[in-house]
Structure 1
Amino acid sequence: MTETVFMTAQEVADCLGIAYKVIQKLNREMEKEGYLTISGKINRVYFNERLYGGNMVHGSLQG
């Protein structure tokens, strides 16, 4: 399966179990930085940076 730029609420839920609240919080952060956001979706790179402090590639942390 090809990985897309944005994570869906279901993908976040699979990682955390509390998808929408996490997406809303991260989208608010991005909006404060001047980015446009999409309700119910989050940029995968931003999500990985905020959650893991780096990029997750194929299930492993890449620094």
Structure 2
Amino acid sequence: MFECRTFITVKEIGEVLGVSESKSYGIVRDLNKELADKGYMVIPGRVSRKYFEERFYGVENETKVKEVQHAGE
């Protein structure tokens, strides 16, 4: 099955940041609103992984570790 690494999901955000699902949805909504205000198209429930990593300083390393772990499964 194809796994898209371009977008990060609500579940992944919760795991990376250690927050609840409802908080993760709020983060996705906020980030997608920022992107939409800049003229980008967005997907509800997902946000650009690159943009997420830019906005949450230090998260990039954590998500790369998780990607490596998932690749080894």
TM-score by length of 2: 0.68
Give the helix-richer structure, 1 or 2. 2
Hey, what does 1:49 align to over in structure 2? Answer: 54
Query: What aligned pairs does 1:22-37 form with structure 2 within 5 A after superposition?
Result: 22-37=27-42
Match of 1:39, SS? Answer: coil
Rg larger in structure: 2
Match of 2:47, SS? Answer: strand
Amino-acid identity (%): 33
Query: What aligned pairs does 1:2-21 form with structure 2 within 5 A after superposition?
Result: 4-16=5-17, 17=19, 18-21=23-26
Give the strand-richer structure, 1 or 2. 1
Distance 2:59 2:13 in 1: 16
**Does the C-alpha gap of structure 1 residues 36 and 53 become closer, same or farther in structure 2, counting only changes over 3 Å?**
farther
More RCO (CA 8 Å, sep 6+): 2
What is the root-mean-square deviation of aligned Cα atoms in Å? 2.1
Q: List runs of 5+ in structure 1 lacking aligned partners.
A: none
TM-score by length of 1: 0.77
